[in-house]
Every structure is written in C-alpha cells, then in structure tokens.
A and B are shown apart, each in its own frame.
Chain A
Amino acid sequence: MYRYDEFDAAFVAQRAAQFREQVRRRLSGALTEDEFRPLRLMNGVYLQLHAYMLRVAIPYGTLDAEQMRMLAHVAEKYDRGYGHFTTRQNIQFNWPQLKDIPDILDDLAGVRMHAIQTSGNCIRNVTSDPLAGVAADEIEDPRPTAELIRQWSSLHPEFTFLGRKFKIAVTGAENDRAAVAVHDVGLRIVRGPDGEIGYRVLVGGGLGRTPMIAKTLREFLPRAHLLPYLEATLRVYNLLGRRDNKYKARIKILVHEMGIDAFRAAVEDEFARLDPEASAPDPAEVARIAAYFAPPAYPELPDACPALERARRAHPEFDAWVRRNVHPHKVPGHAAATISLKPIGGAPGDATAEQMRLMADVAERHSMGELRITHEQNVVLPHLRKDELFQVWRMLASQGLDAPNRGLVTDIIACPGLDYCALATARSIPVAQAISRRFADPALQERIGPLAIKISGCINACGHHHVGHIGILGLDKAGVESYQITLGGDPTDDAALGERTGPGFAFDQVPDVVETLVRRYLELRQPGETFLQTYRRLGMTPFKEALYAAA
C-alpha cells in the first residue's frame, strides 16, 4: 500500500487546517453560504435532510486495518455508530456536526486519510479495481497510476472550479471491474505496439440524467504522457464545457455535442502546445510510487488445501460462502474474499463501528492488514490463506458479515435516497430491504444465479441503476414515489445501458415486480444462462409481457 512521506503528511495536515479556518470564517459570517458551499463540498461536506454528511476518501478503495479502525472511531465519536460505504469506494458519515468536522479531519489526517475532493466540481477521488494487485487477469496493478493521479489532482490550481464533477477510473485487468466506460475519463492499462505498457484513454462516459458509454480518446498513450495528456483534456473541458445548465455541464455532453473527432482534435492540439517534460513526473517518482505496491511477501503454499475442503464438507453454510464470496488469487494457496455488506433486510453498504473494528481485526490477522472497498458497496480481504478461510468466516459470522450472496439477487446496490439525501425524489434503501427480504432464502438466491439489482433515489444515479441487470430508479410523480425499471444494463467490458420496461410502479409493488421478472427468467433460461444472458438472447418482450400483462 502507498505510505505517505513527510510531504504527503504535511499536505493533508495543512489542508485540514485550511478547512478549519474556512469553517471559522463561515461561522463568523466572512463567508456566505453561497461562497462556503463549494469550499465545503471540495472537502466532502454536504448538507442532507437531517444533518451534514461527510464523505471520506478511500483512494481507489484501498485501506489498511489502522485506517478502518479510525473510521470506526469517527463513527462512534462524531456520528451515530455507523457509516455507509458508497459506490465510489468511499465512506459517508450521516450525522456529523459542522463544528466537529475540522476535528474529524485532524483525526483522519493522523492515519493518512482525508476528504479532499470527494465532492464538488473538481477532479473526484480516483476509483479502481477492488482486486488490484491480486487478480489473475491483470496486466499491471492500476494503483500506482491511481495514486499518481490522486496526488496530481489534489488541490489542482487550474481544475478545482470546473463546470461539473470529474471522475477518473483506472483498471489494469482484462476484465474491467472498475466500470471505466461510465466515467468522465476511463484509463485501461494496455500493452502498446512494442509491448511497452501505456493507456487506452476513454472519455465522456457517465450515468446521471444522460447516461453515456465512453468513447476512445486515444488508443495508446505512453505512460510518461499520462499527466500532461490529462492536463490537456481537462483544459479543453474547462474552457469549452457548458456552464449554462448543470445537467449539460459534464464532459460527456461536450464530447457528444462536439463529436469525438473534434474533441480529440482539440485535446491533441492542446497537448501539442504543452511541454510534457514540464508537467510530467520524472520516472524516478513514478517508480517510487510503484514500489509501494510491490506484492507483499506471501508464504509459499501448495495450491490444494485439504483443510479447506474438509471444512467445506463439514459446514454447508461455509461452503456456500466460499462458493459465492471467495475469489481466485494469483498466488498459490491464497484467495481473496468479499465481505458482503448486504445482510438480508439490511441497508446496503452500511457497517457499524463494531463491524468495522472486526473487519480491521480480520484484516490484520489474516489479510496482511489490507482491505478494499468495492463499488458494489462491499469489502474485500485481498490476501487470505486458503487454510485460514474457515477462521475468517467464523469471525465474520460473529458480526453478521457472512452473507453468502456476492453477485446474487440480494447483493443490491442502493444509494441513500430520500431517507437521507437532499436531492432525492424517492426512497431507495427501503426498496432494497424489501427485495432482499423477498429473496431471503439462500438456496433460491443460488438457483437464480448472478443478478445485479441497482437502485437510485433520483436521476443523479448514484446507485448506478443504468448499469444494473435490473435497474430501479425512484421518481416523484405528483407527490407519489414511482419506480422506473430498466433491464439489461452492464458496467463491465461490454458496457451497456439498461432499457426501460415501461410505466413505473408504486413503492409497494417493486418486490413483486422483481419477483415477476425473476420468475420469467427462470422459465425462459437455457441451462447455465444468467439473467443478463437470457435478456440479451430474448430481449425486452417476454419480460415486458410478464410485467404488464398481469396488470
């Protein structure tokens, strides 16, 4: 993992002190709310329905046990004993007071954490593959690239008052687990013509009101040009992006309106005017960062693990968990495992301080002290020994963290929705809870197989509903919650946006709707076919009929 040097530490401490001063000036009246709002947003502070909300950055979703314990401490000392892990691999606290936030930031700075640019019209925290560094299909670990971008984008003097937020995602694997095609800029680590490593640069993807799949900006960008090329891209966006309408201000609209070819020409022109040497980090700096992500010293183990097989045979519930939540690892005798934050009937992504401490303990004892947050709002233990999986599972089960449902119908993504969010048009967590209870039976979940349900409480699409196999969007129709259903969305390599089934449904109908869709799929599927595959083979019609014929 990346460790701060003295400069990173001083930078974050200064930033926390700067925010303390900004809060003081707001409370004194020197700053109006209009002036303060962008400043607090740039530090992850929102005002929601019931309280302020603080979003803490977990850069590219990687954190260590000490940091997880600090999150537990913040939850307990300044909040109501829990936090919410988000689809952006961050954590949100729902109840902090503005006057306490400077203290929270100081506490976080003590463990190399911050809330810099977790919101606001600036370059947001970079997201990446939760299996970075351990996945077998990796060309290169994306985290050194993500860390380089994190540093470069922090308090960037030119790009902190952009027209709108700007999200960058990086993946280094063949299978895209970072959904790079739905980001403002997506980077795929690829091999160039001579085998050297560089980037395919995608631009203009995004969800929200106008969802779009990103287009290719540059087929191959040499590694050394990454930051200068991003600078050129951001400058073109900053100068030409629309500012007349907040819903048309994202780079995807600019790319769409200019056309990718004209946009590319503008970026290449800007890039040609730059002196890459003047803004690129020197190779020694890149190497310095990369060294932190060298693989840890794994013990040498045989890949086969009889103890694990015995435990699986003896404990069917453990066996189910291994089947669903454990991932292959590139080192023999090891595995990565998903801790599901989706217990039946729970609020997706929520964890209590006690659960956070337990996860920190498990990580420390069994996962070389490391944890990852996924955009599915779960947690990954990346470095487990196979012969310790049973102990890990037992520890997790003691705090309800053993749900064997990764990727199944109850592994639902949901944004905070109208229960917390000031922008929401409908509730989303209670919808997730109702669906989860409907499909509580683990055998039924397994029979249904992989199925991603994603729920957003408004068109901002924080719940990524456009890329859910079943997407659910909560709207307000004349004062009544109405849920629009989309089918066939997919954030991975063949990224696709879901298609609407038709008129929306009432809050109470949603579990029935999902059950109807699932039943139809079970009737129609061919052996081994997933929901998404069946949908792609047959299209909307049979599902639509099932939904609306009965009504």
Chain B
Amino acid sequence: MPLLDDTGFVPDPWTRLADDRPAPEGARVIVSLARLREQGPPAGAAALGVHVAPEDDPEAVAEAAARAALISVGFSSFADGRGFSVARRLRAAGFAGELRAFGPLIADQFAALRACGFDAVEIPEALAARQDEAQWLAAARSMTLGYQRGYALPGRNILEARRAAREEAAR
C-alpha cells in the first residue's frame, strides 16, 4: 500500500509477510507479532519489522521492539486513536527504530502522528487516490505552533518560545 513520509509518497523498502510465507533472502520484512512470538524472526531476512495492534499485550510489544528495526502500528480506522498512545509509549521506552502507522488514516492526522513519534504512514490505495500527496503535505504543515511539551510538534512549541522570550528579556 502507498507509503508516505514527510517528503511525500516514497517507495517501500519493506515487504509485509503473511504468517505462512517464508522471507525472501536478504529482504526487509514485516511480520505479525503473533508470528514473531511463535516462530521467531524469519530466517534469511535482512531486517526485521513487526506489526502490532493496539490491543496487543504491551509487554510483548516492548519485547518485539527490542529486536525490531521497524514497528508498524495498526489503526482499525482513522477514529481509533489508540495507536497514538502506543507510539508515544514505544518512543518513551527508547525505541529508536522506524515507526510506521498502518491503516485508513487521513491527511489531517499526519502532523499529530508525526508528533507522537511516527516516521511514516501506510494507507490504502483508494484513500491515497482521494487524498493526494499535496493534501498530505499541506495538512502536515497547516499548524506550525503547538502547546504540548515532550511531543515532536511541527514548527514551534509555544511554551518553549515563551520561555526563550522570557530568558531574552531577562538578559
């Protein structure tokens, strides 16, 4: 499915592997958490990615994150916001690999997804046809200010800007 990062649509170097399929030699593969737990990492793969769902056991997700270079977090619909918190937890626990949001997300969520730690979004074809690259990139940049500390907001953090202004004034 189409993949976007902050530069727009990009080719996907990863392959999603059904639970019963072997990994192509030297490929970067994404497997389900269940498969990883039952079978371990697929033999021959160059890099391991794991797909998790919000209802997956947080301990198991943390374990997988320790072994994976990519975590794909599933969203059952764009209104299902659990994945935002899953990403925050993973980043807070120190996961430094690639974080991908997977599901029928919409352009208007791009900035928030990135603020919570996602690097990229993988969306269904039909959605990509309706919401083109320009819309995604425009939506990601429509807010350049935010109030929350500790999130990777696009543009400026208002609290930090105020603090800087205070320090400037004090000097």
Contact = CB atoms under 8 A, between A and B. Distances in A.
B79 A14 contact: no
Contacts of B159: 281-282, 285
A9 B114 CA distance: 24
A21 B144 CA distance: 15
B161 A7 contact: yes
Contacts of A17: 142
Contact of A239 (B85, B106, B138, B151): B85
A30 B138 CA distance: 13
B147 A154 contact: yes
Contacts of A274: 92
A21 B135 CA distance: 10
Interface in A140-164: 151-152, 154-163
Contact of B163 (A151, A235, A285): A285
B84 A157 contact: yes
Contact of A14 (B93, B135, B143, B163): B143
A125 to B, nearest CB: 14
B149 A280 contact: yes
B85 A281 contact: no
A279 B151 CA distance: 8
A281 B163 CA distance: 10
A239 B163 contact: no
B116 A155 contact: no
A241 to B, nearest CB: 9
B163 A282 contact: yes
Interface string A152-179: 1011111111110000000000000000
Contact of A158 (B78, B142, B151, B166): B151
Contact of B143 (A18, A235, A280): A18
B106 A31 contact: yes
B149 A278 contact: yes
Contact of B130 (A30, A160, A273): A30
Given A14-B142, A14-B144, A30-B131, A157 B82 contact: no
B142 A121 contact: no
Contacts of B156: 7
Interface in B130-168: 130-131, 135, 138-139, 142-151, 153, 156, 158-159, 161-163, 166
Given A15-B143, A17-B142, A21-B142, A35 B106 contact: yes
Residue of B79, B92, B93 with most chain A CB atoms under a 10 A cut-off: B79
Contacts of A159: 81, 84
Nearest to A161: B81
A243 interface: yes
A22 interface: yes
B54 A239 contact: yes
Contacts of B116: 157-158
A280 to B, nearest CB: 7
B143 A155 contact: yes
A159 B163 CA distance: 25
Contact of A35 (B78, B93, B163): B78
Interface string B38-69: 00000000000000001000000000000000
Interface residues of A, number: 47
B79 A121 contact: yes
Nearest to B147: A151
Contacts of B149: 278-281
B145 A162 contact: no
B86 interface: yes
Contacts of B6: none
B17 interface: no
A278 B135 contact: no
A160 B54 contact: no
A300 interface: no
B150 A38 contact: no
Interface in A237-286: 238-239, 243, 273-275, 278-282, 284-285
A280 B163 CA distance: 13
Nearest to B152: A157
B108 interface: yes
Nearest to B111: A157
Nearest to A280: B149
Given A235-B88, A285-B159, A243 B143 contact: no
Residue of B80, B108, B166 with most chain A CB atoms under a 10 A cut-off: B108
A161 B131 contact: no
B144 A161 contact: no
Contact of B80 (A158, A161, A282): A161
A158 B86 CA distance: 10
B146 A157 contact: yes
A81 to B, nearest CB: 33
A158 B150 CA distance: 11
A217 interface: no
Contacts of A284: 163, 166
Given A30-B131, A35-B106, A161 B151 contact: no
Contacts of B88: 158, 235
B71 to A, nearest CB: 16
Contacts of B82: 238-239, 243
A238 B81 contact: yes
B112 interface: yes
B85 A279 contact: no
B115 interface: yes
B162 A5 contact: yes
Interface of A: 5, 7-8, 10-11, 14-15, 17-18, 21-22, 25, 29-32, 35, 38-39, 121, 151-152, 154-163, 235, 238-239, 243, 273-275, 278-282, 284-285, 288
16 contacts: A8-B158, A11-B158, A14-B142, A14-B143, A25-B135, A35-B78, A151-B158, A152-B147, A157-B84, A157-B151, A158-B148, A160-B112, A161-B79, A273-B93, A279-B148, A285-B162
Interface of B: 54, 78-82, 84-86, 88-89, 92-93, 106, 108-109, 111-113, 115-116, 130-131, 135, 138-139, 142-151, 153, 156, 158-159, 161-163, 166
What are the 9 closest A-B residue pairs judged by CB atoms, nearest first?
A: A161-B81, A157-B115, A157-B112, A279-B150, A18-B142, A7-B158, A278-B150, A151-B147, A158-B84
